[in-house]
Amino acid sequence: MSEKIRYTDEPLGSLKVVPDFLPRPEDLVFRAEGGKVTIALSKRSVEFFKREARKHRTQYQRMIRRLLDAYAEHHSRPLTPRSTRRRAKSARVA
């Protein structure tokens, strides 16, 4: 890496203009609307998230929020035919 790079004026060949696909800066500061809740967690859970947050240099509340958001997103998806059959079957048993 000690050798200097030498640039030359050479033809670049066929170029293609690419449309701008990057989001606007104001679109990058999206912040989901939040709601405040009070929740009692086990000491074990809180200590786990605090320990992991220190490792990853983040806030433990943010980790818990992201975990809950991921769980809600996963379980709010439309039912697949397989999961519909399971629900119907379990409903007949009851």
Per-residue confidence (pLDDT) for residue 44, from 0 to 100:
96
Per-residue confidence (pLDDT) for residue 81, from 0 to 100:
59
DSSP for 12-77, please give it: --S--PPPP-SPPGGGTT-------------HHHHHHHHHHHHHHTS-HHHHHHHHHHHHHHHHTS
Q: What is the pLDDT of residues 36-91, one digit of tens each?
A: 999 999 999 999 999 999 999 999 999 998 899 889 888 887 766 555 545 555 55
Per-residue confidence (pLDDT) for residue 74, from 0 to 100:
85
Q: What is the pLDDT of residues 5-40, one digit of tens each?
A: 888 888 888 988 888 877 777 777 767 788 999 999
Per-residue confidence (pLDDT) for residue 27, from 0 to 100:
73
